[in-house]
Chains A and B, each alone.
Chain A
Amino acid sequence: SQQGEEDPQALSIQEGENATMNCSYKTSINNLQWYRQNSGRGLVHLILIRSNEREKHSGRLRVTLDTSKKSSSLLITASRAADTASYFCATDSGGSNYKLTFGKGTLLTVNP
């Protein structure tokens, strides 16, 4: 079963614009991670945010976490065509911090 649900399912923007993707989950977590997947490839880890953190930055990425609403957002600023990919949030559950549950992903298309 999938705990995380990303929103929107698909997003199309122009190069230079910002892209925001949201993730909601159901149970308590230790941490939440975002991964990126290019078509036909494996997943690449982008960023991890712990349950006691509210915001984290990495380069052009900004992640927020609201544990009271069980939601997270991923913001990619100044998008590039190379950012075109699927983006997944993944949560562990409070009891087993090794098992990640992924959402269905957001397909981001950045048009040059």
Chain B
Amino acid sequence: GAGVSQTPSNKVTEKGKYVELRCDPISGHTALYWYRQSLGQGPEFLIYFQGTGAADDSGLPNDRFFAVRPEGSVSTLKIQRTERGDSAVYLCASSLRGGGGELFFGEGSRLTVL
């Protein structure tokens, strides 16, 4: 597609459940990022992929959060044992090479944990 695609756009789950959020970046973009945005706040960095490898996962809040990008394109953010505090919009972005410059964001996946 022409832009970054994220699915699902909305996800409602119960506390303790497992959730997967998918990101399909712009074709040819080697860098992929996940950010989390809480209501009234700016996006906060979670993880950065360069190709297939997670170059920086320092923003993941704890070990319940994990992300993969096995073929260097689509990425999945996985959240185990969800908590109410995980409720937020999860934004994915990609860029041509990484290392600074413009990020292209998807529309986000809104996660609500009841």
Contact = CB atoms under 8 A, between A and B. Distances in A.
Interface of A: 2, 4, 30-31, 33, 35, 41-45, 48, 88, 90, 92, 96-105
A42 B107 contact: yes
Contact of B102 (A4, A42, A48, A104): A48
B102 A96 contact: no
B42 A105 contact: yes
Q: Label chain B's interface by main secondary structure.
A: loop
Given A30-B100, A43-B43, A45-B102, 8 more contacts: A2-B41, A33-B102, A42-B105, A42-B107, A43-B91, A96-B56, A98-B33, A99-B45
A96 B59 CA distance: 13
A92 B48 CA distance: 13
B89 to A, nearest CB: 9
Interface string B46-85: 0010000001100100000000000000000000000000
B100 A102 contact: no
Nearest to A97: B100
B48 A98 contact: yes
Nearest to B101: A48
A44 B105 contact: yes
Contacts of B44: 2, 102
A98 B98 contact: yes
B38 to A, nearest CB: 10
A43 B35 CA distance: 11
B3 to A, nearest CB: 9
A102 B42 contact: yes
Contact of B42 (A31, A92, A104): A104
Interface string B75-114: 0000000000000000101000011111111111000000
Contacts of A92: 100
A43 to B, nearest CB: 4
Given A42-B91, A42-B107, A43-B105, A100 B99 contact: no
